[in-house]
Amino acid sequence: CGDGSDEQRHLLPPVIINMNGSTIYWGQGGDATITCDLGCNSNQPTWYHNGSIIDFHSNTQVSVEHKNLAHIYRSVVRLSTVNIGSSGTYTCQPSANAQSAYQRLHITMGQQPLTHTHTFTHTHT
């Protein structure tokens, strides 16, 4: 990612490579992360929760971090102290002309948060 020029980065459409639409179950009160790995030729994606754009500036319980890694561009949404309202579909939209991908988050009552990392593989042909 970072070693090509901007002109080269925009030759191919952005492709999501790690979200498969499965459901993550998470305990209420824990912190959760949802990761969207994109091909290197991507810009920052737009994130949606249940079809509405996530406003990372006005919601202090939700943050986003973007990283250029060796062969991917990673966008990570971090949800702190999740509750029932955090449940739903989180969509990563790389650009207006690219296919989006989603991950469902289901918050469970009275359960401890999961402590391991979820890794998902999604491939477009």
> How many CB atoms are closer than 10 A to CB 64?
15
Token readout for 98 is: 């690219």
Full domain range(s) for residue 69: 6-108
Q: Is residue 13 part of a domain?
A: yes
What pLDDT is recorded for position 55?
94
Structural domains in the chain (count) = 1
Mean pLDDT, residues 87-103: 83
Contact of 119 with 36, CB cutoff 8 Å: no
Q: How far is CA 108 from the centre of its chain?
A: 20
Q: 41 or 28: whose pLDDT is higher?
A: 28
Residue 79 included in any domain: yes
| pTM for the full predicted model | 0.72
Domain assignment present for residue 39? The answer is yes
122 within a domain of the structure (yes/no) = no
Structural domain contains residue 113: no
pLDDT at 47: 94
Contact assessment for residue 47 and residue 75, using Cβ atoms and an 8 Å cutoff: yes
pLDDT of residue 120: 35
The residue written with tokens 């650009």 in the block is 95
Q: Is residue 55 part of a domain?
A: yes
What are the distances in angstroms from CA 25 to CA 11, 86, 98? Answer: 37, 11, 28
Residue 101 belongs to some domain of the structure: yes
CATH number assigned to the domain comprising residue 79: 2.60.40.10
Q: Tell me: pLDDT of 17 over 80.
A: no
Tokens of 60: 């202090």
